[in-house]
Amino acid sequence: MKLRLALLLTLIFSVASTAPSSAAGDRRALVIGNAKYPDADAPLKEPINDARDVADELKRDGFDVDIQENLTGDAMRRAFDRFYGKVKPGAVALIFYSGYGIQSNRQSYMIPIDAQIWQEQDVRHDGLSLESVLGEINSRGAGVKIALIDASRRNPYERRFRTFSAGLAPVIAPNGTMVMYSATPSSVVPDNGGEHSLFVQELLKEIRVPDLAAEETLNRTRVGVTRASRQEQVPWISSSLAEDFSFIPGGGGTRPSTGPSVATLPPPPPAATPSPSPTVEAALPPPSPPPPPPRIDAPVAPPPPPPPVADKPIEKPLSPSLSDDPTIKSLTDKLVTNPDDVNALYRRGQVYASKGAYSLAIKDFDDTIRLNPKDVEALNNRCWTRAVVGDLQAALKDCNEALRLRPNFVDALDSRGLVNLKSGATKNAITDFDAALRINPRLTSSLYGRGLAKQRSGAVSEGNVDVANAKAMDPNIIQEFESYGVR
């Protein structure tokens, strides 16, 4: 009898120790703000302030919060490892991340401040996959998993590789998970120049409303951001929560008991006051790729009379010795050992191009294509570099070949649009930029390029709309095109 009683008590305590603890207030949060990226022109203004405000609010809501700022890759991994160790079965586990994010191979990656990204494999090596993080949290038995990701920014690495889609990718998360992005997948929004992002401002406003289910909190946040931005920024939500949860402890909140199912919540109602000027909206799911534009083999049309300011590329000031650059030095050492290291050649060409050493970049792309004539990324990068220096006929051949090998290659369409814009073939430029924007409606370089092409072809009003929308999306787009020799 004593033995049976002992076994019964053991069973009771065992069940109690493994029961979901979210109701008992076991709430864990990791909050990260990354702002000081050496590869960016200047630190981001919003992430640190936003991370601190989110952390303060979560503490008031009963979360045990670990807040971290400007993390390197090693520090970021250690922070997540500590977080995983604190997550108990049944707990609420929340992550907030603000900084740069990149999508690669249909996954979204949070980028540490010391990431060295020059090609796609670097993203997977240096970044932290959101899906992997959520999977690890799930394996620890968390009952409610929440990810709030404010990383839909144009990143400083994009022009190095010209092969990634902008923004983040839709996430495939385990059951019991709610994910929110600050913008629609594959779209980007610029920092608004203030101390806080619009996304976090609206998020904090709704979290502070008592008696709201978490899904309703995030849906109201999305509506608020959409209306405040006049539909230029539409946050994205995916939820498969299997139990009730409210940010305010004790908040009731109700939600339909339909069981867990991964689904994107319905879009918010339209803004009460629509924007008077048209904007390019991202769509989910993305539109089917259009048929490939016709190959343009005709000779480049003679350029029109020069504008008041000559279209001459602005050479970036070079360091006294490029060989002193640590990345170039490392790649050059590899090439001394193996002159046919195609990856090292391609990557060094990208570094040279990013530093304005265009002739050296073209030589490395030449060697890359000699070793692999079907390397569409190298063909596209050589097309773009040749377009910048004004070798337009050769650039056109490179882009045509890249598009022959990979129809609807959005970056090659964008590059060929630049070639045609600089050559004065404005109709062909508009065709290429249109095709690129059908694939990625938020591709700022194509939007701005199309605006210039329309202006030069006489459709000034339409061109002005494109230019204005592109500048709103990326305030640095004018300087970018000036560096290509286009004004």
Segment (H or E) for 160? helix 158-161
Residue 372: pLDDT band with limits 50, 70, 90:
very high
For residue 298, the model assigns a pLDDT of 42
Collapsing DSSP to helix, strand or coil, 150 comes out as strand
CB 289 within 8 A of CB 408: yes
pLDDT of residue 309: 39
Two domains, one topology: 20-264 and 322-483: no
Yes or no: domain 20-264 corresponds to CATH 3.40.50.1460 = yes
Render pLDDT for 14-32 as a digit per residue (tens, 0 to 9): 433 344 444 346 999 999 9
Give me the pLDDT at residue 191, please: 64
**CA neighbours within 13 Å on the CB side: how many for 280?**
31
Q: Which structure tokens are listed for 230?
A: 């006049």
Chain-centroid distance, C-alpha 486? 26
Domain regions of the chain by residue span = 20-264, 322-483
118 three-state secondary structure: coil
The whole-model pTM stands at 0.54
Q: What are the pLDDT digits (tens) for 424-455?
A: 999 999 999 999 898 877 778 899 999 999 99
Contact criterion met (CB below 8 Å) for 264 and 236: yes
The stretch 390-397 carries a mean pLDDT of: 95
The DSSP output letter for 229 is T
CB within 8 A of 127, min separation 6: which ones? 102, 104, 109, 110, 111, 112, 115, 117
| Residue 51 and residue 96 in contact, taking contact as beta carbons nearer than 8 Å | yes
Look up residue 460 and give its two tokens: 């000034």
| Whether domain 322-483 has CATH 3.90.950.20 | no
φ, ψ of residue 109 in degrees (nearest 5): -120, 135
Residues 434, 437, 441: CA angle, nearest 5 degrees: 145
Residue 472 has pLDDT above 90, yes or no: no
